C-alpha cells in the first residue's frame, strides 16, 4: 500500500543508484528497478505541527461535548518516507530464486 518506484531507482546504474545515466554507453536509457526506496506516508500534519493518522476536535452540543473528525482536506499530508531497507516493487513481475552452489 502506497508503494511507488522511487525516481532514484528508475535510472539504470549498477554501482550508484542515484546517478541518472548509464555510464557505459553515454545514452539516457531508463529502466525500472525491482526495488522501492521510499513510500508515501499515511499520516497528516495539523496546523499545530502534530503528526497523526487522524485528528478530532471537540464540538459543544446541547447535551454536552462531542468529538468530530477533522476532514483530511484541512490537513497537510506527511509526504514521502525513505524506507530503511529497500522493498520489492509489487508492479514488476520477477522471480526470486536461490541459486544452488
Tell me which residue of 37, 42, 14 sits closest to 89, measured CA to CA: 37
What size, in residues, is the chain? 101
pLDDT in tens, the chain (101 residues): 555 554 444 444 444 444 444 445 555 556 677 888 999 999 999 999 999 999 999 999 999 999 999 998 889 999 999 999 998 888 877 777 888 87
Three-state DSSP class for 26?
Answer: coil
| CA atoms of 18 and 46, how far apart (whole Å) | 33
Tell me which residue of 20, 50, 35 sits closest to 84, measured CA to CA: 35
CB 45 within 8 A of CB 53: no
The answer, as to whether pTM is greater than 0.85, is: no
SS3 content of the chain, % helix, strand, coil (to 5): 5, 35, 60
Provide the residue ranges of all domains of the chain, joining segments of one domain with +. 1-41+79-101, 42-77
Amino acid at each position: 500500500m502506497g508503494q511507488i518506484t522511487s525516481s532514484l531507482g528508475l535510472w539504470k546504474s549498477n554501482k550508484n543508484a542515484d546517478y541518472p545515466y548509464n555510464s557505459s554507453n553515454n545514452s539516457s536509457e531508463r529502466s525500472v528497478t525491482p526495488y522501492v526506496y521510499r513510500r508515501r506516508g499515511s499520516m497528516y500534519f495539523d496546523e499545530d505541527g502534530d503528526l497523526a493518522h487522524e485528528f478530532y476536535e471537540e464540538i459543544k452540543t446541547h447535551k454536552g461535548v462531542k468529538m468530530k473528525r477533522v476532514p483530511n482536506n484541512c490537513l497537510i499530508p506527511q509526504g514521502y518516507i525513505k524506507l530503511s531497507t529497500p522493498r520489492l516493487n509489487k508492479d514488476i513481475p520477477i522471480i526470486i530464486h536461490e541459486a544452488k552452489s
